[in-house]
Structure formats: C-alpha cells, structure tokens
Amino acid sequence: MKTTTEVIEKWKHWGGNLRSFTRMLEREGTEYLSFSKVAAVEHCPQRYLLEYVERVVPEEPFYFLKGRLMHEGAASLHRARMRRGRSSLKRAMRMVERHLGYEDATHVHNALTLMHSRLEDDWEVVAVEEPFVLELDPDLPVCIGVIDLVERRGDAFRVIDHKSGRRFNAVDRLQLVLYREHVRRHYDVDVCTAFFDQYRWVNNLSRARKPAHHQTRVYCREGSWPAAVRRLSTRYNQMRKIEETGVAAATGNCYACWFGELCPKVTY
C-alpha cells in the first residue's frame, strides 16, 4: 500500500480530474477508499466484485445520465456565483437540452429553476465540485471524493450535496461526514454544517401536489468521525477479502443495480 502522504502528494501535483486520478491509482494497484465503493459493497458485494475487481463496464443507466446532467447544470449556476457573475439558468440548461428529450429536460429545468430561486447571496461560494484526498487512519488507505458545493458566511462553512430523482430517497450521512471532515481540515474551520439538497422530478412546478424540494441537515456530532472511520474499516476489510478470493455474495438487490444481465447472479 502506498502511504497516505505519497498519494496526497501525488494528488497535489496531478493535472487532471479526480476520475483520471483514481484510474491512475487503479492501474498502479494503489488502494483507496471512497463513499461510492462503500455504497457498492453494502448494496451488494457481487456488485463490488463486478465494478471494482473485474472492471465490468455497463452501459450508463438513463437515470444516472439525467442525474449527472442535473449536477452539471447546478455546477454551472454555482460557478457563475463564484465568479460573482449573473447565474444564468439558460446557460445551465444548454448541455442538458442537448442530451435529453423534452419531458426529461423539463424535469431538470424545473429542478434547476427551484435551485436558482433558492440561491442565498449572503453565502459565498468557496468551491464547486471540489475533489479531496482524505487521510483516515494509519491502517487504512486514503478516502477520495468530490464535494458538490462548499459555501462560507463569515467564519461559518457549509457543504451541500445535490440529489435528484423521481422521489426523495433515504440518504447516507457517511457521505457528508466525509465532506465535512475534509472542509474542517482543509480550511481549518470549526463551524461547518452539512446538507443534502434533494430535488424531485416534476412536470409542472405550479401544479405539483407534493413538494419538489427537500433539504436534510446532517448533524455531525463528536462521535460522527470515529464512527465513520470504523465503518470504512469494516468495509475495507470486506473489500480486501473479495479482492483476494474473487468471490462475493449477492444480496438480491438487483432492482437498483447498474449491471443487470451482465451479472451472473441477477435475480430478475
């Protein structure tokens, strides 16, 4: 295992994005952890085997493309704020409309419209889609990720992760505990709040009978970080066993898995 310091130093001098960096680490055989890896192995160990060990590459699910375009639109809005320019919803939608049909583009447009209406000028944008390499524990590899949005008001910071979909889904606080820890260390701050910002796909904002937006605050208390490291350690040991043996159990959670018929253990 490369030392944490070696990986962090390599990241500091890396000229590409985080995805190209992780691919480089994988080619070198350098271990790393991420929230995505933890989510995969907890959802289904067989999915982790396919995705991170056997490197099976499925076709990108449409719902993932739609969510990714939503994130790109949101990043466009926030980067305009960072430049202290005018946040243009039209500019944010250009990429979306090139890739989605009318109804799906309408869903994303309505979500971004809601987001645009909720922008708070008294919060300064510090970073948009900020990559990080986070030291965890001497016995664990580094944790790598990307934070959607970091904002500051005075001495207080906050991190926000955007979610979108047909409904408001359960969220995993581990993701924001990691993000908050990075901000706390990187910006040397004590006060950092954390939020999931969820947007539901709707055809018409004015006629929607249920809320199209929901914000969840994640309270990162004193024991949150040690608990997060313990969970990461447990999952890391599970990942290593799968990598060493090439064998993984299947949980049967095939309904929300990318791999579908590419998986020999699919149950539908």
Where along the chain do its domains lie? 4-262
Smallest Cα–Cα separation from 107: which of 80, 74, 76, 67?
A: 67
Q: How far is CA 163 from CA 86, 88, 196, 259, in A?
A: 24, 21, 7, 22
How many C-beta neighbours within 10 Å does residue 102 have? Answer: 8
- Mean of pLDDT values over 12-32: 84
Residue 2's pLDDT band (cuts 50, 70, 90)? low
Residue 3's pLDDT band (cuts 50, 70, 90)? low
CA pair distance 128, 74, nearest whole angstrom: 9
Length of the chain: 268
Question: Would you say residue 85 has pLDDT above 70?
Answer: no
Query: How far is C-alpha 213 from the chain's CA centre?
Result: 18
- Residue where the block lists tokens 């295992």: 1
* DSSP-derived secondary structure letter, 268: -
Predicted local confidence at residue 86, as pLDDT? 63
pTM for the structure as a whole: 0.90
- Mean of pLDDT values over 74-78: 92
Three-class secondary structure of residue 194 per DSSP: strand
HEC profile for 27-76?
HHCCCCECHHHHHHHHHCHHHHHHHHHCCCCCCCCHHHHHHHHHHHHHHH
Dihedral class, residue 244 (left if φ above 0, else alpha if ψ from -120 to 50, else beta): alpha
- Residue where the block lists tokens 């959802």: 43
Cβ atoms of 248 and 45 closer than 8 Å: yes
CA pair distance 220, 20, nearest whole angstrom: 30
Q: Chain-wide mean pLDDT for the chain?
A: 91
Predicted local confidence at residue 93, as pLDDT? 83
For the CA atoms of the chain, what is the radius of gyration? 19
Predicted local confidence at residue 110, as pLDDT? 95
Domain range 4-262, CATH architecture: Alpha-Beta Complex (3.90)
* DSSP-derived secondary structure letter, 258: S
Residue 260's pLDDT band (cuts 50, 70, 90)? confident
Q: Extract the tokens encoding 268.
A: 């539908």
Q: Which of 11-20, 50-59, 96-105, 236-245 has the lowest mean pLDDT?
A: 11-20
Q: What share of the chain is helix, strand, coil (3-state, %, to 5)?
A: 50, 20, 35
Question: Would you say residue 87 has pLDDT above 70?
Answer: no
Q: Tell me the pLDDT tens digit for each residue of 198-251.
A: 999 999 999 988 999 999 999 988 899 999 999 999 999 999 999 999 999 999
150 φ/ψ angles, rounded to the nearest 5 degrees: -120, 130
- Mean of pLDDT values over 69-73: 93
Question: Would you say residue 1 has pLDDT above 60?
Answer: no
